[in-house]
């Protein structure tokens, strides 16, 4: 189930049609029969539900999920597009605390229904030219990072948009590798990887410095 709080359900549906068919969104109207064939052969079911910005709470989503499951359909995944546009439950007037409560409520909903919930959030303006977006660049409230089980950032500069590239960075993974004792075999292997990363970082900085010298 995809809950959209920014774009209406018809527009979101077109985006899905474009992704599934590989046809650019602006050309879908010229390939209606082709899109239908692709969609009809897909496994599973997609429900797109639209709520105007700041009109829905987490309880609104839960009520809709209950109706969906009463109809015999249990989703495998819930997408909230996006959580910052949900309305808080009125427990606080502070935006940061409200966002923190919203993310906690979403995480609680995921546990209650045993369905993974994915959402997106914006980075702040200072991240526009960053190669890698870290946790400190998340806009409005750091509690989003603290609450989430898995956080992934995507950085795309103008050059990336032209080339169709970008940089993914796993900010947090609650289900990731364990912390090893430095004397254990796993700990020694992890230390080698860290040392290799530091060396790669030094080489990267050296190359950047040489580039700057060449431009002076």
For position 91, what pLDDT does the model report? Answer: 61
Q: How do residues 175-198 score in pLDDT, each as one tens digit? A: 876 656 677 787 777 777 767 766
pLDDT band (50, 70, 90) for residue 40: very high
Listed ranges 58-62, 70-74, 90-94, 159-163; the one with the highest mean pLDDT: 58-62
Q: How do residues 126-181 score in pLDDT, each as one tens digit? A: 777 788 888 888 877 888 989 999 999 998 888 888 888 888 888 898 887 665 66
75, 47 Cβ separation under 8 angstroms: yes
The Cα–Cα gap between 213 and 216 comes to 5
For position 17, what pLDDT does the model report? Answer: 96
pTM of the predicted model as reported, rounded to 2 decimal places: 0.76
| Closest by Cα among 57, 63, 68 to 1 | 68
């Amino acid at each position: 189930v995809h809950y959209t709080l920014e774009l209406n359900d018809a527009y979101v549906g077109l985006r899905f049609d474009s992704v599934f068919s590989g046809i650019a969104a602006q050309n879908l109207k010229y390939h209606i029969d082709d899109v239908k064939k692709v969609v009809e052969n897909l496994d599973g079911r997609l429900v797109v539900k639209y709520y105007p910005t700041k009109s829905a709470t987490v309880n609104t989503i839960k009520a809709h999920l209950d109706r969906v499951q009463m109809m015999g359909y249990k989703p495998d995944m819930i997408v909230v597009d996006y959580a910052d546009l949900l309305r808080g439950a009125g427990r606080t007037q502070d935006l940061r605390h409200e966002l923190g409560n919203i993310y906690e409520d979403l995480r609680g909903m995921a546990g209650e229904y045993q369905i993974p919930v994915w959402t997106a959030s914006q980075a702040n303006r200072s991240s526009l030219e960053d190669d890698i977006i870290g946790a400190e660049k998340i806009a409005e409230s750091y509690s989003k990072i603290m609450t989430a089980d898995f956080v992934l950032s995507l950085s795309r500069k103008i050059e990336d948009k032209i080339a169709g590239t970008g940089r993914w960075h796993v900010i947090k993974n609650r289900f990731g590798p364990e912390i090893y004792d430095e004397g254990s075999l796993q700990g020694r292997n992890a230390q080698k990887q860290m040392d290799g990363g530091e060396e790669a970082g030094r080489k990267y900085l050296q190359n950047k410095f040489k580039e700057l010298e060449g431009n002076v």
